[in-house]
Amino acid sequence: MSYRVCLVCLGNICRSPMAEVVLRKTLADHGLGDLVVVDSAGTGGWHQGDPMDRRASAVLTEYGYDGSAHRARQFLASWFGEVDLVLAMDVDNLRVLRRLAPAGADVRLLRSFDPAAPRDAEVPDPYYGGRAGFTEVLEMVRAASEGLAKHLATTLR
């Protein structure tokens, strides 16, 4: 049985799909690809079925990642029965998820796994900015993904 992680932002077209792609590769690089299933979703549903934002996809491609298969989805409360760890990109989405979560659900901020970041650090929404914001998001999710991979390597083995 696999350990399941779901990364969540607002619309599931920028931050959380970037984090999904990066975390999946990071886990594979750490030999955990067969143990952990990674996906993503948004707390809002207005982008359901849409591909990743073109700017997010372009930054991923530039750094050797492939986000072309992504299609946006909305996080549903019923998923808590199937997901072991839910990681929000920011405090607003964390609050939404915690309101949906049953008692005992593991819901945290993604950057809480980045040892160089404060425990309450957020991944800012790059949607209304330029390319630099997407590159910054990539750097943040890469650091947090490394920390999460190290955490899961000790937890799951």
- The residues that are catalytic are 9, 15, 125
Q: What is the DSSP string of 24-49?
A: HHHHHHTT-TTTEEEEEEESS-TTTT
Residues 6+ apart with CB under 8 A from 33: 24, 27
Alpha helices (H) in the chain, listed in sequence order:
15-29, 54-62, 91-100, 131-156
Do 62 and 135 touch, CB atoms closer than 8 A?
no
Pick the closest to residue 123 from 141, 145, 147 (CA basis). 141
